[in-house]
Amino acid sequence: MSNAAALPSRPGAGRPRSGKDGRRRRPRPGVGKTVSVVLLVLGAVGMIAPFLWMFTTSLRDASQAYDLPPQWLPTEWDWSNYVDAVSGPVPILKNMFNSAVIAIAVSIGMILTAPMAGYAFAKLDFPGKNSIFVGLLSSLMVPAQVTIIPLFLLMRTFGLLDNPLSLILPGITGALGVFLLRQFFLGLPQEIIDAARMDGATAWQTYRLIALPLAKNAVSTLGVITFLGSWNAYFAPSIFLNSTDTATLPLGLVLMLGPYGAGNVAQVMAATTIAIAPALIVFLVAQRWIIASLTQSAVKG
Amino acid sequence: MTMTAPKTALPPAPASGRGRPGHRSAARRREALTGYLFTAPTVIGFLVFILGPLVAALYLSLTKYNILTAPKFIGFDNYARMFRDERLATTYGSTVLYVGAAVVLINGFALLFAVLINQRLPRALTYVFRSAYFFPYLVALVYVSIIWQALFQKDTGILNYYITALGGERIDWLNSSEFSKVSVIIVDTWRNVGFAMLIFVAALQEVPKDMVEAARMDGANEWQVFRRIVLPMISQATFFNITITIIGAFQIYESIIVLTRGGPGDASRSVVMYIAEVAFNKFDMGYASAIAVTLFVIIMLVTMVQFRLRKSWVNNE
């Protein structure tokens, strides 16, 4: 109730102003828009500034890292912090390799299992289909904190603690991917499937040779989202992995940062810049798809 | 738009090979078998890694278990113990604050920026803004927290530099019991506002332009148009965003680890951090499970209340 009441009033706080601008906009179309752009620029600067600071600091000597007033643009292009970061006591490169292995394995598993299930839920008929699907979907509501203790005990029993398999095995299936791909396959005209079956293709061939290739974009999006999710994960890795050699990159960086940020800040920022690179690449290459697939399910219900 | 196609395709068209009755059941059986095979990996993963552990957590929450000796059944003692646990009360207090702040701030700013961005701005500008706001969401919470903890430093941080430059007092962002929570909220809002904004933008684009124009012609001012037409039209997105922010904020964990380690004392500690501490530092698995199960139930109840209320304010279906 309070949510419902609070939300409309909240944007209202900033809104009447632009409302007035809006009324003035008819005679003078420029003003409202100028105000909007200024506000948006301020917001965008706030979003990007921390990353800019990270990058310039990574290029500076540690003694100048905290120079005030802050230098927003690189004053020098000294890459030695990067060299020092990867050759320091925390094996950052090894950690990155660990993260990559887990993220790639999980992504491959996911793009093998989720489209298959999504296709079955969308295009095949079998008893219990709907209840199974609803059960799977409800698993999205189960927070990781509830299952983490039994999972820890399970991994311990099978000797998988401190082993990347403890993160790979639970990661290769998941309801979100099934949901996304089911949505896609529902949109696929039934005639395409029927035509293939009529020509004598088996269910597997129809899926593998007809349906799956058409889902290329949806599958790529799923792969990218899964990769990033695994690459960025902290909670489960922090509990299942407990040595610097098996640690993933987020764990390594937290180690490097040290308690209360006592680590060498220039080196930490260099390592963080490296760690962020995959997100940046994904962002530059696949932003459009990701945004489309993430927003679609929310808006169209 | 894309969703109109599946709607028409949804009623299962008669599949081929079902013409003759004799064939029918065999084909059906084969199709069912295929269905089970296709879904098997996902279902097995679900049973082993989600449903099984969930049931195990329920059981463990009724036991005393320290890993070394077998779990001992103690009924609801763990649940009773929660009511006497002052640290749990403190961590729940902070967590509820995080949830409230997330709902109001993330969605408030997201809606504001979405409305601003949804005007007829040059395409390139829209693209740049959208990208800038969305980027933090793609970066691990751990990484952005590492950057922010440097910015939050009391004596060397940039934030305090600008605050003192403007004549303010230095703020002890990470080590005061009030501002440690504020820092967590700032990072959480900053990182998630872009995603919520995109959802709002997508919804705003679905609002029929002629409807808005008609209202304006009838003399409605911008605020009335927004309040009476736009807001009801995007209620589906608002509902989604609020639900997502509640669920997310209940689970805040790694930003606190990096920023404040839960401190000072327990001032900024979240319930999830407390669960991890009880389970994996104190190895009090039974009690930790009870707290985790309770957290799960609370998240579920809040979501269900949301879905209930949805009927009264979400304008759809």
Looking at CA atoms only, how far is residue A143 from chain B in angstroms?
A: 7
> What CA–CA distance (Å, rounded) separates A265 from A62?
7
Look up tokens 């490296």; give the residue: A274
Model confidence at B22, pLDDT cuts 50, 70, 90, reads low
- CB-CB contact of B114 with B200 (8 Å): yes
> What CA–CA distance (Å, rounded) separates A167 from A164?
6
Looking at CA atoms only, how far is residue A237 from chain B in angstroms?
A: 11
| Triad B179, B137, A262: Cα angle to 5° | 45
User: In this structure, are B103 and B35 located in the same domain?
Assistant: no
Helix A2-25 vs helix B235-250: angle between axes, to the nearest 10 degrees?
A: 130
In chain B, the number of structural domains is 2
- Is B70 inside any structural domain? no
Tell me if chain B has a CB within 8 Å of the CB of A197: yes
- Is B65 inside any structural domain? no
Among A124, A121, A102, A125, which residue's Cα sits nearest to residue A113?
A: A121
Q: What is the DSSP letter of A202?
A: -
Among B120, B272, B138, which residue's Cα sits nearest to residue B209?
A: B120
pLDDT of residue A260: 63
Q: Which residues of A touch B310 (CB under 8 A)?
A: none
pLDDT of residue B5: 39
Which residue range(s) make up the domain with B89?
77-313
> What CA–CA distance (Å, rounded) separates A31 from A34?
5
pLDDT digits (tens, 9 = 90+) for B94-119: 999 999 999 999 999 999 999 999 88
Tell me if chain A has a CB within 8 Å of the CB of B24: no
> What CA–CA distance (Å, rounded) separates A135 from B50?
11
DSSP B53-104: HHHHHHHHTTEE--SSS--EE-TTHHHHHHHH-HHHHHHHHHHHHHHHHIII
C-beta atoms of B35 and A126 within 8 A: yes
Q: pLDDT at residue A278 above 50?
A: yes
- CB-CB contact of B18 with B24 (8 Å): yes
User: In this structure, are B41 and B161 located in the same domain?
Assistant: no
Q: Which residues of B touch A125 (CB under 8 A)?
A: 12, 28, 31-32, 35
3-state secondary structure of A154: helix
Looking at CA atoms only, how far is residue B91 from chain A in angstroms?
A: 15
Q: pLDDT at residue B211 above 90?
A: no
| Extents of the domains making up chain A | 2-78, 86-299
Looking at CA atoms only, how far is residue A298 from chain B in angstroms?
A: 6
Q: What is the DSSP letter of A26?
A: T
Q: pLDDT at residue A14 above 50?
A: no
SS (H, E, C) A153-191: HHHHHCCCCCCCHHHHHHHCCCHHHHHHHHHHHHCCCHH
Provide mean pLDDT across the span A83-94: 88
| Pairwise pLDDT comparison (B17 vs A41), residue with the higher score | A41
> What CA–CA distance (Å, rounded) separates A55 from A269?
7
Among A103, A70, A44, which residue's Cα sits nearest to residue A269?
A: A70
| Pairwise pLDDT comparison (A85 vs A170), residue with the higher score | A170
pLDDT digits (tens, 9 = 90+) for B231-254: 998 988 898 899 889 999 999 999
User: In this structure, are B172 and B269 located in the same domain?
Assistant: yes
Top mean-pLDDT range of A280-294, B198-212, B273-287, B293-307: B273-287
ipTM tops 0.95 = no
Listed in sequence order, the residues at least 6 apart from B118 whose beta carbon sits closer than 8 Å to its beta carbon are: B201, B204, B205
Model confidence at B157, pLDDT cuts 50, 70, 90, reads confident
pLDDT of residue B20: 52
- Is B7 inside any structural domain? no
CATH classification of the domain holding B235? 1.10.3720.10
- Is B67 inside any structural domain? no
Measured in whole angstroms, the distance separating CA A164 from the mean position of its chain's CA atoms is 19
pLDDT of residue B316: 55
Looking at CA atoms only, how far is residue B55 from chain A in angstroms?
A: 9
User: In this structure, are B208 and B281 located in the same domain?
Assistant: yes
Among A172, A285, A179, which residue's Cα sits nearest to residue A226?
A: A172
Q: Which residues of A touch B306 (CB under 8 A)?
A: 3
**Global pTM value:** 0.85
Mutant choice from A25, A47, A121 vs B, greatest count of B C-beta within 10 A: A47
> What CA–CA distance (Å, rounded) separates B11 from B4?
13
Q: Could you tell me which CATH number the domain at A86-299 has?
A: 1.10.3720.10
C-alpha torsion sign, points B161, B166, B167, B172 = negative
pLDDT of residue B26: 83
- Is B2 inside any structural domain? no
| Pairwise pLDDT comparison (A71 vs B259), residue with the higher score | B259
C-alpha torsion sign, points B200, B201, B207, B212 = positive
> What CA–CA distance (Å, rounded) separates B283 from B278?
6
As given in the structure block, the two tokens for residue B65 are 């278990």
3-state secondary structure of A45: helix
Give B63's strand partners: B73
Strand B72-73 relative to strand B63-64, pairing = antiparallel
User: In this structure, are B44 and B168 located in the same domain?
Assistant: no
CB-CB neighbours of A220 under 10 Å: 16
- Among B residues 158-217, those touching chain A with beta carbons less than 8 Å apart: 158, 161, 165, 174, 190, 194-195, 198-199, 201-203, 206
Q: What is the DSSP letter of B271?
A: H
For residue B6, whether the previous peptide bond is cis, meaning omega lies within 30 degrees of 0, is no
Q: Which residues of A touch B206 (CB under 8 A)?
A: 299
Q: pLDDT at residue A6 above 70?
A: no
Look up tokens 């798809």; give the residue: A289
Model confidence at A19, pLDDT cuts 50, 70, 90, reads very low
> What CA–CA distance (Å, rounded) separates A274 from A278?
8
Mutant choice from A7, A18, A55 vs B, greatest count of B C-beta within 10 A: A7
pLDDT of residue A146: 92
Listed in sequence order, the residues at least 6 apart from B1 whose beta carbon sits closer than 8 Å to its beta carbon are: none
> What CA–CA distance (Å, rounded) separates B133 from B199?
12
Question: Which of B17, B113, B272 lies closest to A145 in CB terms?
Answer: B272
Model confidence at A29, pLDDT cuts 50, 70, 90, reads low
pLDDT digits (tens, 9 = 90+) for B177-206: 999 999 999 999 999 999 999 999 989 988
Mutant choice from A102, A108, A146 vs B, greatest count of B C-beta within 10 A: A146
pLDDT digits (tens, 9 = 90+) for B40-71: 999 999 999 999 999 999 999 999 999 888 99
- Is B193 inside any structural domain? yes
As given in the structure block, the two tokens for residue B209 are 């332009």
